[in-house]
Amino acid sequence: MSKIIDGKAVSQSVKDRIKEKAARLKEKYNVTAGLAVIIVGDDPASRIYVNNKKKACEYVGFDSYEYALPEETTENELLELINKLNNDERIDGILCQLPLPKHIDENVIINNISPNKDVDAFHPVNVGKIMIGDYNFLPCTPAGVMELIASTGIDIKGKECVVVGRSNIVGKPMSMLLLHKSGTVTICHSKTKDLKAECKRADILVAAVGVPNLIKGDMIKEGAVVIDVGMNRLDSGKLCGDVEFESASNIAGYITPVPGGVGPMTIAMLMQNTLTAAMINRNIVKE
């Protein structure tokens, strides 16, 4: 039976670490990091995420600024707000909650957030820095996955790593982070000819494709580390991941549950990026 990787426990340790650093920043430099979160419209899932981010800011000792805009907000109005926040010295990080309404171009919005305040690490400048391994910020979910893998004590170096999914938010940056740790990385997607064979040889398997229970136990190598990034809601209302937990947990060495695995890590790593941004924007050298 697999060992469960407890995302709640790992994320709590990350937030506790950030809380200590934030307190030192306040004591030594009289600096309090500030995070601005923009939400357009009233999507229930987005509202839950925004509330959780606000709670995390409160816990670690950051200032939190929420900008809740109506669904009919125009692209130009949103750009005006982002420009204002780019120039606001209280704000270290800007996060625009996705998805945005269809009449707003997400790429235009992302590209107009200052790279030094882009705590989602979606701006092309930050994406390019990740590619060459010289980065300030990491996308929150892939960064959280790396923390979860580290918590197992398993060294990525030389391991066969398979990432299922090629999104800009998770799949692509995830593969780069594993590569930076000297993993041998394969990216799988909807056109992969033999997904089972590719997954079966993975020492570390990251599933991030958004298809419920796609990865079965017979697709997993004995003793592998299995990280399930998927968050899917079945017709029954039950949450499940991209990995069929019951069959996979009999084969894998380590596995993340859904919920309670990767999810809590995303917000923890957002707090890390915000702390980093506060230091960059105030020219404070890392201690």
Give the residue numbers marked as catalytic.
53, 97, 120
**Secondary-structure breakdown of the chain: helix, strand, coil percentages, each rounded to the nearest 5:** 45, 15, 40
Residue with tokens 């740790």: 181
Least Cα distance to 121 among 144, 105, 148, 154 occurs for 144
3-state secondary structure of 104: coil
Structure token pair of residue 17: 């670490």
Pairing of strands 232-233, 239-240: antiparallel
Instruction: Give CA angle at 210 (227, 261), nearest 5°.
Output: 30
**What is the C-alpha separation between 82 and 90, in angstroms, rounded?**
13
What sign results for the dihedral spanned by CA atoms 170, 174, 175, 176?
A: positive
Q: Determine contact, residues 137/273, Cβ cutoff 8 Å.
A: yes
Classify the C-alpha dihedral 46-52-56-59 as positive or negative.
positive
User: Tokens standing for 68?
Assistant: 């809740």
Please check whether residue 281 is in contact with residue 164, taking contact to mean a CB–CB distance below 8 angstroms.
Answer: no
Q: Which of 165, 95, 93, 170 is nearest to 130 (CA)?
A: 170
Structure tokens at 175: 């593969």
